[in-house]
Amino acid sequence: MTMTLEELEAEVKSLKEQVAEGAYAKDYLEIWKLQSLYAHLYYIGKRSEVPALFAQKTPGVNMEIEDSGVYEGIESITRFWNTVFSDKKIGAGNLAIHMTVNPVIEINRDRTRAKGLWHSHGFCSFVGGGMFKQFLCLGKYDMEYVKEDGQWKFFKFAYRQAFMCPYEKGWVEEPVAASIAGSPENIPDKPTTYFMPYSRYRINVMEPPPPEPYPE
C-alpha cells in the first residue's frame, strides 16, 4: 500500500521520537551505571580508581563530601582520594558501603549534561581514637554529570550527610560522630558550602530537593 506524503512525514516523525527516547534511556542507564560503579569501588576499597570517574578535561569539576570543604579540579580531587580516603588507610575490620538508590535524573536536550539526586544508606566500621567503631549512615548524593569523549563522567559531586551515628547510640542521640574536616590531610580549595545534618532540635528539611528538568 502506497503511503501519502503526509503519512510518510508522520512515520518519520514517529521514528525520530522513538530514536530520541531510546537515546535518552541509554544515557539514563549509563549515568546510573557510573554512580553504581563508584559505590562498588568505594565498597571494595579501590578508592584510588574513583578519580577516573570524574571529567578530566572539562573546566569546573569539583567535589564536596560531608564537611570536607570543596575540592576544585581533577588534581585536587585525585589528591583527596589518595590521602584523606586513601586505599592505604583500609585496615583490618574496615567496612565502608554507601548504596545509591531512588535516583531522580534529568538530562539536557543535547544529552551532554545531566543532574541527579540519590538517597544513600550506609554502614561503616574502622579504628578511630584507639578503638574500633561502627556507624550507621544516611545522606544524599547531589550530582551533576557531563559527557566527555562520548562517556558520562562526574562533573559536580556532593555528598550531603543526614547522619553518621554510632550504631550503639543512633542518630537522635549522636547524629554526627566523625568528621572529614578534622583530618589533617583534608586540605580543600574552598570551605564547605552546605552541612546541615539531622538534629532533633529543629525541623529537618534535608536538602537538596530533586533536580528540576532542563529547559526545552
Task: Report pLDDT digits (tens) over 146-161.
Answer: 999 999 999 999 999 9
**Residue 152 included in any domain:** yes
> What's residue 13's pLDDT?
66
Number of domains forming the structure of the chain: 1
Confidence of residue 131 (pLDDT cuts 50, 70, 90): confident
**Residue 173 included in any domain:** no
Mean pLDDT along residues 186-211: 97
Taking the alpha carbons at both ends of the chain, their separation in whole angstroms is 37
**Residue 150 included in any domain:** yes
Q: Range of 152's domain?
A: 5-166
**Residue 206 included in any domain:** no
98, three cell numbers: 554507601
**Residue 195 included in any domain:** no
> What's residue 19's pLDDT?
56
Q: Is the pTM of this model over 0.85?
A: yes
Q: What CATH code is carried by the domain that includes residue 13?
A: 3.10.450.50
Least confident of 113-117, 123-127, 186-190: 123-127
**Residue 187 included in any domain:** no
Is 72:190 a contact under the CB 8 Å cutoff? yes
59, three cell numbers: 573546566
**Residue 198 included in any domain:** no
pLDDT single digits (tens) 46-74 = 999 999 999 999 999 999 999 999 999 99
Mean pLDDT along residues 190-207: 97
pLDDT single digits (tens) 78-113 = 999 999 999 999 989 999 999 999 999 999 999 999
**Residue 207 included in any domain:** no
Dist. CA 107–CA 195, nearest whole Å:
27
